[in-house]
Structure 1
Amino acid sequence: MQDQLYTVIDVETTGKGILGNRITEICIVQLQGNEIRDKFTSLVNPEQNIPPFITGLTGIDNDMVRNAPKFHEIAERIIEMTTGAVFVAHNVNFDYNVVRGEFKNLGYTFTRKKLCTVRLSRKLIPGLFSYSLGRLCSSLDIPLVDRHRAEGDTDATVILFQRILSLDPDYTTINSFLNARSKEATLPPHLDVNLINQLPEQTGIYLFKDQKGKVIYAGKAKNIKQRVISHFYDKKNKEYALGQNTYAIDYEITGNELIALLLEAEKIQKYYPKFNRAQKKPVAPYRIIQYTNRKGVIQLAIDRSKNTDHSLEVFYKRSDAIEQLERLCFNYQLCPRYCSLQSTSERCSHYRIKNCKGICHDKESVALYNMRVQQALVSLKKQKETYLIREKGRSVDEHSFVIIQNGIYKGFGYVHQSEQVSHFDDFEAYLTLQKHTYHTTKIIKGYLRKHGENNIIYM
């Protein structure tokens, strides 16, 4: 290992996300063992505009790079210096993926072994408050000149890497990081590999947390460990940023996907995580409502509101609400006009429903018509049944349940197989109360569509 080649690299970029980043400056220092052998530094014409905020950070502007070589003009030099060498950088996945992306644009596959000085420092110099390059250099008395310029950051990283090599004289840590089966090269810089190894391969939810312990992403998975790791292999800008901001991961085993989905929805509503997109917007569903008009006729209508407490029924699509109203009209001989299925104020003329008894042109009494409306409403209320969904538990000796009471999601719980539980009141003792929302209703309806009544127990 003393003859191993390393190339310590830093790039400055246009800052347009990991996939759209173009290099504006690069510095490469080649080491053999602990000794510096070669160095290459160059501005690079990114062939695109440099945003003002990047210029403010690095000091590199469009004028500086206008006559600089383009990447393809220095590509051969980079290949020459990195061939047979381990690619070393502070937060290596960023620099490595940017360089690899530039070569991909040229039709060349760039593949090198990687070492991250952030992760190596956390392992070999534990207990520091921060492992950013600036803080590390300050803590270890490493000179850092021209911060956020490629050469200045590379020179500091070289000294840091030389310190790391001196702390690992038998190369035990470095060899373990270079092991093809090791996750060290793919994990974000702030996550301990032991934390990942301890994640369960079971169904449940997981929470990514930032440096302050704030939840920044909530997810569900059939295999928690596998799903968490997949985030770090994804090269999308959002996934990369998520990894860079993650310092800790919590999880909760649920035993089945239904409770995982419900719990994920609850966590998103509770924490409003920065990196979640779905389920964050409060959605106003469509609902069927009733009111009495000036003639005393009970009318049915479609409304859209977040408040569904007094709704007769809730829908996710307007077409579903219309279909239900048409069904009520047909089954109970109601008037399409008084069910909001046509906008005209004259007698009804629905294209399909022709069995109105004439309330819309005074051929039927209000009392008789309202009686049939009440029968229709009773049929809707009957659909709001109380039942529980029985599912697998977190272990072989327990089962789980989800309770829906009068059409409202109440929560979930777990019961040991040895417990004698059969009545509704018995289940409440094991119930974890949850909030009924648009999203939980959608999840439960989706489950029932998929599984039917196989796991349903009516109370």
Structure 2
Amino acid sequence: MHSQLFAIIDVETTGGGIAGNRITEICIALLKDGEVVDKYTTLVNPERDIPHYITALTGIDNEMVADAPRFFEIAEKVAEFTKDAIFVAHNVSFDYNVIRGEFRLLGQHYNRKKLCTVRLSRKLIPGHLSYSLGRLCNTINIPHLNRHRAEGDVDATVILFQRLLSLDEDFSTINSFLNPRSKQATLPPHIPAEQINELPEEAGIYLFKNQKHQVIYAGKAKNIKKRVLSHFYDKKTKEYQLGQETHFIDYELTGNELLALLVESEHIRKHYPKYNRAQKWPATTYQIISYVNQRGIIQLALGKTKVLHDSVGTFYNKTEAIEKLEEICETFKLCPRFCTLQSTSEKCSHYRIKNCEGICEETETVAAYNLKVQAAIQSLKENKLTFAIQGKGRTKDEIAFALVAEGQYKGFGFFDRSEAICNIEDYEPFLKLQPASYHTHAIIRSHLKKHGERNVVYFDLKSTRPPKPNRSSRPVRFELR
């Protein structure tokens, strides 16, 4: 290993993610036996405009690179210069992926073993608040001139790497990072490997946080550790950028996937994380509403909204809402016209519902009709289910539950198997209250559709008899209040 050639590399770029990043400057210093034996540096014409914010950071503008060689003109030099070397950089994934991207545009494959001086520093010089090149150089007294230019950053990284070599005399740490079976170089630079190793292999949610401890991504998993690692092994630009911004990972065990989904949904609602897409915006719900028209008739209608109101009934999709409206219209002998199931102003003529008793022809009194509508509304309110979905807890002695009261999600919790749970009030000491939303409804509805009544405990709020768990796999009809 002492005669091993190391290529310490830094690139300046146009910015814009891995796929759109083009090189504006590159510097490569070759290190052998702890000494610099050669160096190559040049500006590069990126063949696109350099954004103003990049120029403000690096000082490199369009005029400076106008007459510089394009990458295809230096590609052979870069490949030959690093041919027998280990690719070393501060936050190596960035520089390595940018250079690989340039070669890929030329239809060429570029592959080198690589080492990250951020991760090596975390291992060999632990305990520092920041491992950015500038901060680390200030802390351990490494001269860092001409920052954010390729040669200035390479010169500082060379000195840092020389110190790291002196702290790893038998190369045990470097060899472990170079091991093909090791994922060290793939992990984000700001996250200590110990933090990854300590992640549980159980069901729950995980939160990626930036340097300011702000949640930038919330996810759920059956196996937290496996799912977190899958983000870092993914080569997509979005996943790479997520890894670059992640400094801390928090997690919360839930025992089972249903609770993981519900808790994840709440974190997305609460933190509005930068890298989450799903569930960030309220989805459309369909509600059965009632109002009194000019004739004094109580009329039912279907409303579309993104806010959950305490309406007669709220439904997951339009088809489900129309089916319920048709069902109560037929059951209570209501008029399709006054249930907004047809738009005619004449006598109702619904294709299926034929048992209207004449309110549309004024052969039925308004008072009599309104009594039927009130009975229909009452039936909708009374048919709201109250139940708990029980499942695997965080330990073998624990039971997890999600609670729905009168059709509305109330929250989740855990209780010991030794607890006597006989009625809905018995859940309250263990209940963590949560807001209901379109998304929590969709999660519970999907779970019931998939698993049926298995492990669902129903409660009749009018009865004093204790409930019995239902272990059937028959689908459950669940409507949201």
Aligned residues of 1:183 and 1:193 also touching (Cα < 8 A) = no
Q: CA deviation at 1:304?
A: 3.4
Structure 1 residue 274 displacement after superposition: 2.5
Aligned to 1:414, the other structure's residue is in SS state strand
State the match for 2:416 in structure 1. Answer: 416
Aligned residue in 1 for 2:293:
293
Provide the residue aligned with 1:123 in structure 2. 123
Offset at 1:406?
0.6
State the partner residue of 1:85.
85
Name segments (4+ residues, structure 1) moved above 6 Å.
Answer: none
> Matched residues in 2 for 1:296 and 1:24: separation?
75
Task: Name the CA distance, whole Å, in 2 between partners of 1:393 and 1:354.
Answer: 51
Match of 2:222 in 1: 222
Secondary structure of 2:199's counterpart equals coil
Q: Which residue number corresponds to residue 442 of structure 1? A: 442
| Distance across 2 between alignment mates of 1:288 and 1:33 | 78
1:347 aligns to what?
Answer: 347
What stretches of structure 2 of length at least 5 have no aligned partner?
A: 460-481
> What is the deviation of 1:94?
0.5
Residues 6, 33 of structure 1: 8 Å contact kept: no
Whether the 8 Å CA contact 1:134–1:144 is kept in 2: the answer is yes
Q: Report the AA paired with residue 267 of structure 2.
A: K
| Letter matched to residue 55 of structure 2 | T
Residue 359 of structure 1 deviates from its aligned partner by 1.2
1:372 pairs with 2:372: yes
Give the C-alpha shift of residue 197 in structure 1: 0.8
Shift of 1:150: 1.3
Q: Deviations over 1:72-126 (max 9, x none)?
A: 2211111112223111111111111111111222222222111111111222222
Whole-Å separation in 2 of the counterparts to 1:33 and 1:339: 86
Q: Counterpart of 1:73 in structure 2: which amino acid?
A: E
Tell me the equivalent position of 2:425. 425
Could you tell me which amino acid in structure 2 is paired with residue 454 of structure 1? R
Distance 1:405 1:309 in 2: 16
1:39 corresponds to: 39
**Offset of residue 26 of structure 1:** 1.0
Q: Which whole-Å CA distance do the structure 2 matches of 1:383 and 1:453 have between them? A: 17
The aligned runs of 1:11-26 (5 Å cut-off) are 11-26=11-26
- The residue type equivalent to 2:191 in the other structure is L
Q: Structure 1 counterpart of 2:58, which letter? A: T
Q: What does 1:386-397 align with in structure 2 at a 5 Å threshold?
A: 386-397=386-397
Q: Deviations over 1:248-291 (max 9, x none)?
A: 11111111100000111112222222322222223452211111
State the shift of 1:309 in Å. Answer: 4.4
| Offset at residue 307 of structure 1 (A) | 4.7
Distance 2:329 2:297 in 1: 15
SS of match in other structure, 1:342: coil
What residue is the counterpart of 2:383 in the other structure?
383
Alpha-carbon shift at residue 408 of structure 1 (Å): 1.1
* Corresponding letter in the other structure for 1:445: R
- Structure 1 residue 350: deviation in Å? 3.5
Mapping of 1:161-240 within 5 angstroms? 161-240=161-240
- Paired AA for residue 74 in structure 1: I
In structure 2, the residue matched to 1:406 is 406
| One-letter amino acid of the structure 1 residue matched with residue 458 of structure 2 | Y
Q: What is the Cα deviation at residue 235 of structure 1?
A: 2.5
Point out where structure 1 has 5 or more consecutive residues left out of the alignment: none
Given that 1:19 and 1:235 are in contact with CA atoms closer than 8 Å, whether structure 2 keeps it comes out as no
1:299 Cα deviation from its structure 2 partner: 0.8
Letter in 2 for 1:273: P
Shift of residue 204 of structure 1?
Answer: 0.5
Bigger CA drift: 200-209 or 407-416? 407-416
User: Which residue matches 2:63?
Assistant: 63
1:155 counterpart = 2:158: no
Q: Aligned pair in 2 of structure 1 residues 136, 340: CA closer, same or farther (>3 Å)?
A: same
Tell me, yes or no, if the aligned pair for 1:254 and 1:260 is still in contact at 8 Å. yes
Q: How big is the alpha-carbon RMSD for the aligned residues of Structure 1 and Structure 2?
A: 1.9
Q: What TM-score comes out, normalization by structure 1 length? A: 0.95
Q: TM (normalized to structure 2)?
A: 0.90
Q: Which one-letter code corresponds to 1:43 in the other structure?
A: L
Per-residue Cα deviation, 1:187-221 (whole angstroms, up to 9, x for no partner): 11110101111111111001112223222221100
Q: Is the 8 A contact 2:282 2:307 kept in 1?
A: no
Partner of 2:465: none
> What SS does the corresponding residue of 2:40 show, helix, strand or coil?
strand
How many residue pairs match? The answer is: 459
Instruction: State how far apart, in whole Å, the 1-side matches of 2:343 and 2:41 are.
Output: 73
CA distance in 1, matches of 2:33, 2:330: 84
Which of 423-432 and 434-443 deviates more? 423-432
Higher mean C-alpha displacement, 278-287 vs 68-77: 278-287
- Distance in structure 2 (CA, Å) of the matches to 1:82 and 1:229: 29
**Number of the residue aligned with 1:252:** 252
Separation in 2, partners of 1:211, 1:413: 31
Mark the CA change 1:324 to 1:193 in structure 2 (over 3 Å): closer, same or farther.
Answer: same
Residue 321 of structure 1 is matched in structure 2 by: 321
Q: Which range moves more in the overlay, 4-13 or 298-307? A: 298-307
Match of 2:359 in 1: 359
Equivalent residues of 2:316, 2:441 under 8 A apart: no
Match of 1:274 in 2: 274
Q: Write the distance in 1 (CA, Å) between the matches of 2:345 and 2:59.
A: 70
3-state SS of paired residue (1:282):
coil
CA–CA distance in structure 2, aligned partners of residues 454 and 68 of structure 1: 69
* Cross-structure match for 1:143: 143
Q: CA deviation at 1:335?
A: 1.8
TM-aligned CA deviation for residue 352 of structure 1: 4.2
CA deviations on 1:312-348 (whole Å, 9 max, x unpaired) are: 2212333432332223223333222211223343433
Q: Is the partner of 1:185 in helix, strand or coil?
A: helix
> How far, CA to CA, are the matches of 1:311 and 1:136 in structure 2?
59
Specify the SS of the correspondent of 2:9. Answer: strand
